[in-house]
Chain A
Amino acid sequence: MSAPAIRERNFNGECTIPDPSGVVELMPAGVAPSSFVRPDPKPVLPGALLLTAPDIAALTDRLAETLAHEGVGGHLCVRLADGSETPLFGDRPALFAKRRSAQVRRIAGGLGQREELQLLVEAPATPLTRAAEARLEGYAQLYLARAALLREKANDIATGCPLSLRQRVLLGRMLAGHPLARTADALGISVAAARSHLDDALPALGVATRAEAVAKAARCGWLIVSLPSSGL
């Protein structure tokens, strides 16, 4: 006798799960399949994955996977400053040497970033459709925005507690009644980066809200309100 199994209709159709207890049909007889199928789950879009990448490595992997679907082989993020280019990160560092050739396409970063980042991608072997071109351009914009934010966050200082220096300052000045936007500006980071710092502080402190984070940091003496090096 073959292995007993539970058959259950799931999001992707039918799946079979081995079960030693016997064959169990979860769908009652006489019930139309359409009334039993659960609705599709909310789709996870590539753009959303790019916007939520927790670190540079994850961001690189997610863009590489997204670009592969469009037939684009590799990418590299570069920084433009003072008329020169600096290679930063990506899955195809060799693109930097070829950046002025026709084999490489360049996509400029979006608006409102504190540093100018561009994305180099390997030119597709065959011309992309208009829709694919739009996806490439759009995903590049989302990638570059996330890359800029992650770079801002990376430039932080570890301290002798679970919080980084910026997290301690952001929480401390929040308690003192300063809007996050003003503190972020004084620290030289974007509001989005400051918000992300605070989001990271919650699991580090084992709390669920910013108010709880302030309270716990205050109990432990970790809050910083004044930071002369930043003019705060």
Chain B
Amino acid sequence: MLHIVTKRNRELYRDEMADLFRIRKTVFVDDLGWQLPVTNGLEIDRYDDDRAVYGLAFDAAGRVTMGARYRPTDDHAMLTDVFPHAVDPRFGPVTGPEVWEITRGMCLESGRQPHNLMRRAIQALAPIEYALAHGVRWLIAFAEVRLVPLAIAMGWRVELLGEPTPFGEGVGIAFRIEVSEDAVRQIREEFGLPTPCYVELAPRPGDARDVHSRAAEMAHRVPGLAASLPRATAGWSATCCCAGRGARGWTLAPWRGCGGMPARPRRQWNPRCGPEAGGKRWRSAPGRA
């Protein structure tokens, strides 16, 4: 299950968004060495504005494990602002009212169990499903070439927009992804995903529960969605956040490690307390308020 974060509900995700920007800094700046603006340890750029939409997944401790930014392109886009040379001019304009851009994608989850695959497939489906619901026909992206076959394997219908191009320390390529009912249906069927595969929480005055508790409660109302919730783990360890896991990012590049970033969970999964007990599936982790 992915959480959709927009301007409307961003206040609910204040801690999670800070976590996202901190992890982005670790992934893209510290590890990949990209020259990106960093403010107070957070990697935030000009595209992180009110129009940006984020698809985030969390582990059982409430930490961001997958994330990507989707944004309309009718004003500007990273692909055409930063990598215009990567697009073959014969394609004509690649941005517009029916085109969104997907950037800063990263995946810290791995594993070959059906549950792992399902969660990663949801990260691929959610932007298409969400964009389709907003009248979008294409998503554009610029990613390291090595990630393109992975994206195709996850069901994205990719159309290359140019030749491989050097950027930073890697080789990237511009492409666009078809957004259509047929594309959504195919990914959903191939990976056995629920409808919808994401939750978009609305601000609810007076509701003191955190976003994870609310999302877990909602997930149990949607057939199949609860199966994509993060799996409970016994407590948490102060080891590297990606220990043993292959992390990847896009607009982007494969993540070769997180540089030893310690895990900092805020909550623990409480397996003995389900929605029937008021949705208190989360409890504070030791040492955290």
For residue A181, CB closer than 8 A to chain B, the reply is: yes
Interface residues on B, range: 35 or more
**Residues of chain A within 8 A of B171, CB atoms compared:** 134, 137-138, 141
- Contact A180 B90, CB 8 Å, known A48-B160, A142-B145: no
A133, B145: Cα distance in complex, Å: 13
CB of A118 closer than 8 Å to a CB of B: no
Main secondary structure of the interface of B (DSSP, over half): mixed
Which of A57-65, A159-167, A189-197 lies at the binding interface?
A: A189-197
B150 CB contact (under 8 Å) in A48, A111, A137: A111
Contacts of A191 in B (CB 8 A): 153-155, 190-191
Asked whether B146 is an interface residue with its Cβ less than 8 Å from the other chain, the reply is yes
- Collect the chain B residues with CB atoms within 8 Å of residue A142's CB: 145, 148-149
Q: Collect the chain B residues with CB atoms within 8 Å of residue A42's CB.
A: 90-91
Provide the A86-111 mask, 1 if CB < 8 A to any CB of B, else 0. 00000000000000000000000011
Residue from the list B147, B160, B191, B248 in contact with A45, Cβ < 8 A: B160
Given contacts A134-B171, A181-B190, A190-B153, contact A47 B164 (CB under 8 A): yes
Q: For chains A and B in complex, what number of residue pairs have CB atoms within 8 angstroms?
A: 101
Interface size range of chain A in the complex: 35 or more
**A residues near B160, Cβ cutoff 8 Å:** 45, 47-48, 51
Q: Say yes or no: is A26 at the interface (Cβ < 8 Å to chain B).
A: no
B80 to chain A, nearest CB (A): 17
C-alpha spacing A190/B117, complex, angstroms: 12
Residues A139 and B166 in contact in the complex (CB < 8 Å), given A110-B149, A180-B189, A190-B153: no
* A131–B163 CA distance with the chains assembled, in angstroms: 10
In the A-B complex, the 6 residue pairs with the smallest Cβ-Cβ separation, listed nearest first, are A138-B164, A179-B192, A145-B149, A134-B166, A110-B146, A180-B190
Interface residues of A (CB under 8 A from B): 39-40, 42-43, 45-48, 51, 110-112, 130-131, 133-135, 137-139, 141-142, 145-146, 174, 178-182, 185, 190-192, 195
